[in-house]
Amino acid sequence: MSAQAKPLILVVEDDEELANLLAEQLEIAGMNTQVYNRAGPAEAFLSKNFANLLLLDVNLPDQSGFSLLEELKKKSISVPTIFLTGADSEVNRVKGLNLGGDDYILKPFSFPEMIARINAVLRRTETSRDLNLTTNVRVSEGPFVFCGAEVHPDRLEVVFPDKAAEKIGKKELGILAYLVHNPATVITRKAIIHAVWGIHADIRSRSLDQYVVKIRNLFIKHSLGLDAFRTIHGVGYLYDPNNLVKLN
């Protein structure tokens, strides 16, 4: 975290007194908080807003913390999560971690330990994101082929059959990677935006189309055909290298 930006911690705990006490301690530690006592409102908040970390009680009145995390993942909402529970059950701990939880704190707990665990998860997730070029592409990924050219994420570079190498922007790279990983599928503009910029990004379809134009111009410059990459008017795009999709 930068020194200026306070992380936002979403506290989801059905015990209102404990939830308010958690929020108080987190704010003393230099964090912002948003508190909910039910899973439903928390899910609605995360569908429209960003949070740095979710402090999540396992037992909630409307659904379990486990099922809430599953619902978030189905919606491609990714947020680091620490489970809180009074049940010292190995089965629950394993389930929480297997679902993608980053840590598990048993009640009762000390606030200094809780703050330390939160800071550890925040540091770890921030470091892991340093390798992200876009939401869907990491610098460590190997090269892939798109319309006859070799794309190298680690170098932000496209190598064409004429042996020329061109630098490419991160967003263009993310678009190419998403298309390659979803071949022969009509993909909406919104799906690409969510994959490349993130689900909470305020990016318009027109902006995406401008990035696609840059990609097309780069390939045309090196005399590569783009028959496999089609615009589906009013919907989005299709990457169909094996010509499997027949559109009316």
pLDDT in tens, 34-53: 999 999 999 999 887 878 89
Q: Is residue 1 part of a domain?
A: no
Write the pLDDT tens digit of every residue in 107-140.
889 999 999 999 999 988 776 565 566 767 876 6
Q: Is residue 213 part of a domain?
A: yes
Q: Are the beta carbons of 10 and 46 closer than 8 angstroms?
A: yes
Residues 71 and 56 in one domain: yes
Residues 150 and 203 in one domain: yes
Write the pLDDT tens digit of every residue in 133-164.
676 787 668 899 999 999 998 888 999 999 99
Q: Is residue 245 part of a domain?
A: no
Mean pLDDT of 89-113: 81
88 pLDDT higher than 70: no
Task: Using CA atoms of 222, 237, 154, 129 in order, give the dihedral in degrees to the nearest 10.
Answer: 160
Residues 106 and 142 in one domain: no
Boundary-marking domain end, from 105, 130, 155:
130
Strand order in the sheet with 165-167: 144-146, 149-152, 157-159, 165-167
60 pLDDT higher than 70: yes
CA distance 196 to 181: 12
**Total domains in the fold of the chain:** 2
Query: What is the token pair recorded at 122?
Result: 């925040």
Mean pLDDT of 76-105: 79
Q: Which residues contact 11 (CB under 8 A, 6 or more apart)?
A: 19, 22, 23, 26, 33, 34, 35, 36, 55
Query: Which pLDDT value is given to residue 129?
Result: 60
Query: Which pLDDT value is given to residue 133?
Result: 65
Quote the domain boundaries for residue 142: 137-239
What CATH number should be reported for the domain holding residue 185? 1.10.10.10
Query: Which pLDDT value is given to residue 202?
Result: 72
Q: Is residue 3 part of a domain?
A: no
- pTM for the whole structure: 0.57
- For the chain, the C-alpha Rg in angstroms (whole number) is 22
Residues 84 and 142 in one domain: no
